[in-house]
Each structure stands twice: as C-alpha cells, then as structure tokens.
Structure 1
Amino acid sequence: MNLKTIGATCVAGAIGLLSSTSMAADYRKNPFTLAYEGAITANVAGAVNITPVKYKLNGLDIAANVYAPANFDAKKKYPTVVVAHPNGGTKEQVAGLYAQRLAEQGYITITADAAYQGGSAGTPRYVDKPANRVEDIHGMADFIAGQAGVDVARLGLLGICGGGGYSLKAAQSDKRFKSIATLSMFNSGQVRRNGYMDSQLDSVQERLQQASQARAREANSGEVAYANTAKLSDEQIAKLPFELYREGAEYYGKTHFHPNSSGSYTLGSLLNLMSWDATDHIDLVVQPLLMIAGSRADSLYMTQSAFAKAVNAKDKELFLLDGATHIETYWKPQYVDQAAAKLKDFFGRTL
C-alpha cells in the first residue's frame, strides 16, 4: 500500500508483569512486534499487508499500523475501518488482531497507539485523558482519509474496551464515521469515578482530592504521580476481586505481553476521567451501532447501559458472545471468529 508517511514502529515504554509462563503470542518473534496469534510475519504479494506509519497529531508523532486487504489496488476504493485500542493496550495486541481480521474481509484498517502512550510521542508518559483518546480517533480518521484506496464515504469505527467508550464519544460528533461497533466496551470515566462494578462509590471525593494534589505537585515541581503501577505476583493476581482484572493481568502481563503496553496512568488524569462519561450525549449517535460483548463478562453492564441510552441510533444491535468473558473476546479463537463474522455482516451492510 502506498502511504504518505512511512516509518518504523517505536519501541519504548513500560515493562509489564512477566513470569515463567511461556507467551502464547511472542512479540519478539514477530518483525512488526505483533502480539496476537495468526499475526502477519511478512508482507507477501497478493496477501493482507501491514505498513507501520507515523503521522503528526497536534504536534505529536503518532505510531500506527495500516492493514491493506489482499490484492490491494491503489486505483480502487475500499471500505475502511478505524480501530481504537483498549486502555493500557497497544496497536500490536487485540486492536491489531481485529484490524487484521477486517483486512482479511476486504477492508483497509488503521490502528494507532494513543498519544502519550505506546509507541506514540507525548510527555509525561501515560497521560490518560478522555479528550486525548477521542482526539486520537479523529486523528486516525484524518490520516487514513488521505491514503490511496480509502473510500471516505465508507468509513467505519471499531472501539475495543476503553477504545469502545471513546469511540462512542467520537461518533457523537464525527459524522465521517458511517457506522460504529464496539467490542467489550469499557466506560473509563464511569469506572474511574465509581470503581469497577461500582465498588468505590464511598471514596469518590477522597480520590478526587488525591488527583487534585497530584495535579498540584506536577504543576509546582514537575513530579508526576502514577496510578496502577504495582507489579503483581501470580498469587496476587489470583486474589484480584474481578475476573476482568485477573484475566487482564494474564493477557497483558504474560500471554500477549508487549513492552509498549502499560496499565499505569498519571494520577492527575483522574481529574479529567472522573468527571467524564462515555454515554453523556450518546443520543447524538444516529449512525448504525453494533455492540458486541461476552455473555459472561463482568463488564457487560457497561455495554448494556450504553446500548439502552443510544436511543437515536438508526440501526442498533447488541450481540452477545455466548460464554465469553471480557478478555476472552480479545484472543479466544471461537469468540474472535464469531465477533469477526458479525463485524463482517455489520460493516458489509452499513458501509
């Protein structure tokens, strides 16, 4: 694929939790550092290809991967899908897997590391502000719209986990996106405010106070405080209270580890996160909407809530992957296959 801006992916960032457990998708064995099963290992004529790119967004270098369908012809026009990654994730993990699967179905796809995270630029590292994540999605649309073969009239959006919540917000105003899908949607503001499954309702003001103090220290001395920095042992992981967190620690720290991925974020980011919600003004979403989630996911309540509030989506569907947990939708073949087939049907119908 002939792209305007081509560069190598940046390898930097935090080191995650590791153990003696062998990795199921070893980024070190992939020339593009992709950390998912069945990942592209070489660009071959006539097959799906991947191109690492960099582009500017508000003065920052953004690292992205663009996937082109088999037998790509720059003179033709292809439906295109922007893919937003989970909180703490990178473009080389689940976002890359679904971007590749969509490319196998004939779509051009792009997935980029969030600004301040992964291989993208921005300091302090791991700032996690909703406005930035939404702007990342707009920026992917800006960049991919200028590339050969992209049919801007058939632009879709897929958001995964936290990227799903940010995609719902981006789609409220960005009508370049003709249809929107989410997978295992995670409402970052709701969880940072209330705690996962509303487990921290009694400490909202205390945590806001801590975030305010962190912001003040950063402004006064340059000292940056971080949340979620603990490196957990296997025993500690097993004692985590929620399945998403237990399976997430395994996925990000072991089986699909990538060195650019980090679950930590600046404590000052909570000032922005805790007063934000993915479903505020969701009535502005009028595009077709598909929300996919695992039937056994303890995060399902967020997808169900957002789906119910999206009252103006012209064509909406909640599709449950029977038996799947949140993290299993990221990698388990039978669930990935079902989700990919549903996305093929949805985008094929709406783009």
Structure 2
Amino acid sequence: MKSVTFKNKTWDVAANLHLPAGFDEAKKYPAIVVAHPISSCKEQTAAIYAAKLAELGYVCLAFDASTQGASGGPGRYLEDPATRVEDFRCAADYLVTLPYVDENRIGVLGICGGGGYAVNAAMTERRFKAVGTIVGANYGRLCREGDLSADAAIKALEGIGAQRTAEARGAETAIATYIPQSKAQLDSYGITDVDVVEAVDYYTTPRGQQPGSPNKLNVASTGAGFTFDAFHLAEKLLTQPLQIVVGGGQAGAFGSYRDGFELFNKAASKVKNIHVVPDATHYDLYDKPECVEQAVDRLKAFYAENL
C-alpha cells in the first residue's frame, strides 16, 4: 500500500493505493475505487475491503472524501452529495493516468453511504464497468426521513437556514456529531436502535476508531442532502453489472437492507444480484471477519465475471 493524492478541482484528495502481491508496474491490472461510509475514512472498513480485493489481484484506490479525513476542500466535515460524487469521477481520472491500470477494467465499490454515492456516480461515470455496494445507503433518504414525523425534514431545513444566516453574520461554523460520542452518552439518551448502538461501538472504541474519522459534521452542509436521491434515474442510467450485499440480521435505522432491495428492483442493469449475508447487521459487514469474508466471496465472483 502507498499513500497518494489526486485532484478534485483545486484541492488534493488523500488516498491509499492497495497493490496486489507481486505487483509489477510493467503489467496491466484491473482496478477498483473503494469508498468509505459517511463519517468514516479510508483507514476503516474501506481499507479492509480494498486490501482483500488487492489480494485477489486488483489495484484498489481507497480515498478520503473531500473535506474529510486527510483530504482538502472548501471547508471541513462537509457532507455535500455533489462533491462526494465528483470525488469518484476524479478517482477515475487518477486511475487512468497510471500505466499499470487497464482503463477498460475499472470498477467501484462503496460501503454504507459510500455505496449510495458510488451508485449515483456510476450512472454518469461510464468508466466504471462494474458496481458493488456493501450495505449501501441512500443519504438523501436518511436526511428526509429524520425522526419519521411528517414535518421533520421541513423543520430541519428551517434550522439549517437559520444557522446559515447566523454564520453569514459572523457566527462560528456549527459542527455537530453524527452519533453519541461514547457508550455512556448513548445509554444516557436511551437509544437502543441496533445501527446506532453498533455505530458507537465501531467509531468510538478501538474496534474501528481512527484519527481521520472524528465524528464531526458541518451542520449547514447537510441542506443539500435533502433533495439528493442516490438512486434517482437508476432505472434509466444504471446499466453496468451490479452487485449488492446487505445484512439479513436485525434491521436498523440506517435502512441499508431496504435500500439494497429498492436499488436492486430499480436498476436497469441486465446483470444484477443481491446477496444477503444471513444474520449480519449493518456493522457486522464493516469488519466482522466471517461476514466480510462472505461479502468478499461474492465480490470475488462478481468482479471476476465483469471486469
């Protein structure tokens, strides 16, 4: 593995290039862009999947989203769908400059929110020849869903507007956290949803904790997500071979199980498959060895057939 950067507009996007064993620069390799979940970074679950796919002979590029992790960008901790999707196109730009990458055999894999962004990018980025998602989630749906009350999204948008007004007048940028910052804080809130409970365990303990994933979010940046739909026009524009992996265990608030089936039913791809890992929760597929291995086995066959 080696650290690299590529450009998105004027700033550097930080990435790790995972190379196959016995790598030979004189050869041509298929390549896969690997995208991390929302609030994550390239050293977490993205690194696990990138490393395992590199073992199978792929050059894998795992990157930090713009404004997050070690990447630059216009601000910090933004969750802006347009910029997130553009990161993928820029990753493809970078890969086609590498003499050892076969430009006709580039795929993409996204995990959680990164899966939704990967799907959206692939609709217009035709250099991606095969699309994979691991517990892929639609960020726009998550924004709009809120606390499931009828007017939650409207109230949230009004609050975002008020915050932008305050910042325009000189107030400090509002930075929030995605999840409770510890198990004790989680317990104090009385939250029992499996996805939130396991998110706290993954992100705030040695299990998955990384400096590039500080659990921070620019509040005003989330406004753009409310009109974003990761799967919009998938029935027309998503024609590449598609592999979806979801967990068949307890479903939680992040909704990746139902998003997976929505995407499967909607995609125009003639070659498509949805694989359910029995009893696996959303976060089991981030790093639980037996669950990851089942997902990788499916990806192994998928990318071998389609790249």
Q: Shift of the alpha carbon at 1:226?
A: 2.4
Q: 2:276 aligns to what?
A: 320
Pair 200,111 (structure 1): closer, same or farther in 2 beyond 3 Å: farther
Q: Among residues 265, 271, 290, which one is paired with 1:308 in the alignment? A: 265
Residue 138 (structure 2) pairs with residue 182 (structure 1): no
Q: 1:340 aligns to what?
A: 296
1-structure distance, mates of 2:119, 2:179: 30
1-structure distance, mates of 2:70, 2:86: 17
Residue 51 (structure 2) pairs with residue 89 (structure 1): no
Q: Among residues 289, 296, 315, which one is paired with 2:242 in the alignment? A: 289
Q: Shift of the alpha carbon at 1:230?
A: 6.6
Q: Shift of the alpha carbon at 1:73?
A: 1.2
Structure-to-structure mapping, 1:24-173, within 5 angstroms: 50-173=1-124
2-structure distance, mates of 1:163, 1:78: 23
- 1:248-302 CA-partner distances (Å, limit 9, x unpaired): 1110110110011033321112220011111111121000001001001432111
Retained in 1: the 8 A contact 2:16–2:42?
A: yes
Matched residue count: 299
- 1:130-179 CA-partner distances (Å, limit 9, x unpaired): 00110111111111221131001000000100000001100111100001
**Structure 2 counterpart of 1:333, which letter?**
P
2-structure distance, mates of 1:175, 1:209: 37
Pair 208,241 (structure 1): closer, same or farther in 2 beyond 3 Å: farther
Retained in 1: the 8 A contact 2:42–2:62?
A: yes
**Structure 1 counterpart of 2:117, which letter?**
Y
Unaligned runs of 5+ in 2: none
Q: Shift of the alpha carbon at 1:123?
A: 4.2
Retained in 2: the 8 A contact 1:295–1:322?
A: yes
- 1:190-212 CA-partner distances (Å, limit 9, x unpaired): 101112xx634431111110111
2-structure distance, mates of 1:282, 1:159: 16
**Structure 2 counterpart of 1:115, which letter?**
S
Q: 1:21 aligns to what?
A: none
Q: Shift of the alpha carbon at 1:233?
A: 3.7
Q: 1:273 aligns to what?
A: 225
Q: 1:329 aligns to what?
A: 285
**Structure 2 counterpart of 1:215, which letter?**
R
- 1:50-104 CA-partner distances (Å, limit 9, x unpaired): 0011222211111100011011111111111000110000000000110000000
1-structure distance, mates of 2:167, 2:140: 22
Q: Among residues 179, 189, 202, which one is paired with 2:151 in the alignment? A: 202
- 1:313-333 CA-partner distances (Å, limit 9, x unpaired): 110111000110000001111
Retained in 2: the 8 A contact 1:124–1:224?
A: no
2-structure distance, mates of 1:73, 1:201: 57
Q: 1:46 aligns to what?
A: none
Q: Shift of the alpha carbon at 1:223?
A: 2.6
TM-score (norm 1): 0.82
* SS at structure 2 position matched to 1:221: coil
* SS at structure 1 position matched to 2:65: coil
Retained in 2: the 8 A contact 1:111–1:140?
A: no
1-structure distance, mates of 2:183, 2:269: 43
Q: Shift of the alpha carbon at 1:125?
A: 1.0
Moved more, 319-328 or 261-270: 261-270
TM-score (norm 2): 0.93
Unaligned runs of 5+ in 1: 1-49
* SS at structure 1 position matched to 2:66: coil
Percentage identity across aligned positions? 37
**Structure 2 counterpart of 1:294, which letter?**
G
Pair 71,323 (structure 1): closer, same or farther in 2 beyond 3 Å: same
Pair 235,182 (structure 1): closer, same or farther in 2 beyond 3 Å: same
**Structure 2 counterpart of 1:301, which letter?**
R
Q: Shift of the alpha carbon at 1:308?
A: 1.4
Q: Among residues 211, 214, 223, which one is paired with 2:160 in the alignment? A: 211
Q: Shift of the alpha carbon at 1:222?
A: 5.6
Q: 1:261 aligns to what?
A: 213
Pair 233,113 (structure 1): closer, same or farther in 2 beyond 3 Å: closer
* SS at structure 1 position matched to 2:103: strand
